Structure formats: C-alpha cells, structure tokens
C-alpha cells in the first residue's frame, strides 16, 4: 500500500526544489519584463508567453519526484513566496498564482488518486496549471486585449507549459533517477519513466 505520509526527506527535497525555483522565478520575471517584453511587444505581445512554462515546472516536477498529495501546491507556493521575497515585479500577488497553479497541477495527479506517475498525468497537470495561469493573467493583466490576442495567449501559455513543465518535468525526473539521486523515492526506483 502506498503511503501518503510525508517523510522528512520529502519535505527537504520539496523545500530545496521550491528554493531553487523561487530564485529561477525571480530571474525569469526579469527576463519576462525585460528582453522578452521588448522583443515581443512590438510585433505580437501574446508570443511572450512562449517562455511561460518555467513558472509551472514545480507543479509537475515535485509530484513526479515525491509522489505525495500536496507536493505540487507546497512546492509552487513556496517557490512563489521566495520569488516575492526576492522582489519580483508582481509583489506578493504571486502567492495567489502559486496557490492556484499548484492546486491545478495537483488535480492532474489527484484525478488518478496519486497512483499514476507517467507522461499522461504530467501533461494533464501541466495543462491544468497552464490553463489556470493563463486565465488569471487574462483576467488580471490583459483584460483589455482583443479576443484574438486572448485566445493566442491562452494557447501559447498552455503549449509552453505542456512542453516545459509536462514533458520537461518528466524528462528531468527521468534524468535525475538515472543518476541515483532519487533512490530514496519511488520515482528513483523506476528507471523507465517515459
């Protein structure tokens, strides 16, 4: 029987992932508001969403590694908190994003009762997280965009999240498992994840 109880090693690894991604989130925000904005704003602003998937990576990667309920929410929310403390442009509003994106990612694994950890579940978690993030952005930041821009933005965010967080999260988990660093986790004992 699979135990859903978190061990100390689960908490430590989730926290390390969250800390690393909190710094990445902060740096990614600088890229989003700097070079990416400058490049895409002139010809097609929704295209900047092509780099969005990085922000959703913890919502998929942490559950794939830890395989416990709450891993997506915990890691995404703590990462968002760290980026806020580091001074992200969006301030503490990123906490709502972290919570919503983490919950959405959690649903991708909850739908299978936290018993399936293959590529389809990773892609579902990524899809739900990306869709949630896109809807939040379109409501909060881009409500005045045309319908075409909104649809394009939504599609690009979801596609980025599917590739970066879904497929990328699975490939990263597989690569880490091959090194042996995940041997204390079920994800480390299954070498053929994709």
For residues 129 and 105, the answer to whether their CB atoms sit within 8 Å is yes
For residues 88 and 98, the answer to whether their CB atoms sit within 8 Å is no
Domain around 116: 8-189
Flag residues of the chain having pLDDT under 50. Answer: 1, 193-194
Is 107 inside any structural domain?
yes
pLDDT digits (tens, 9 = 90+) for 55-80: 999 999 999 999 999 999 999 999 99
DSSP SS3 for 89:
coil
Is this structure's pTM higher than 0.75? yes
How much is the pLDDT for 152?
97
**At 119, which CATH number?**
1.10.1760
Using alpha carbons, list the distances in angstroms from residue 90 to 10, 42, 80, 85, 97.
29, 22, 10, 11, 10
pLDDT digits (tens, 9 = 90+) for 120-132: 999 999 999 999 9
Is 2 inside any structural domain?
no
Q: How many residues does the chain have?
A: 194
Could you give the maximum distance between any two Cα atoms of the chain, in Å? Answer: 55
Is 194 inside any structural domain?
no
Is 3 inside any structural domain?
no
Q: Tell me how many domains the chain contains.
A: 1
Residues 6 or more apart whose CB falls under 8 angstroms from that of 176 comprise 65, 182, 188
């Amino acid at each position: 029987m699979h135990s859903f109880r978190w061990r100390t090693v689960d908490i430590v690894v989730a926290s390390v992932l969250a800390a690393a991604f909190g710094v990445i989130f902060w740096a990614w925000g600088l890229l989003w508001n700097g070079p990416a904005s400058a490049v895409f704003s002139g010809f097609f602003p929704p295209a900047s969403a092509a780099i969005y998937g990085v922000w959703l990576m913890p919502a998929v990667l942490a559950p794939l590694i830890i395989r416990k309920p709450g891993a997506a929410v915990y890691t995404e929310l703590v990462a968002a908190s760290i980026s806020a403390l580091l001074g992200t442009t969006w301030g503490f509003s990123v906490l709502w994003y972290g919570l919503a994106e983490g919950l959405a990612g959690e649903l991708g694994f909850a739908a299978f009762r936290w018993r399936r950890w293959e590529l389809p579940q990773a892609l579902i978690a990524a899809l739900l997280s990306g869709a949630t993030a896109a809807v939040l952005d379109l409501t909060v930041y881009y409500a005045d965009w045309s319908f075409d821009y909104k649809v394009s933005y939504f599609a690009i965010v979801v596609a980025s999240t599917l590739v970066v967080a879904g497929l990328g999260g699975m490939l990263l988990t597989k690569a880490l498992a091959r090194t042996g660093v995940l041997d204390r986790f079920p994800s480390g004992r299954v070498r053929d994840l994709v």
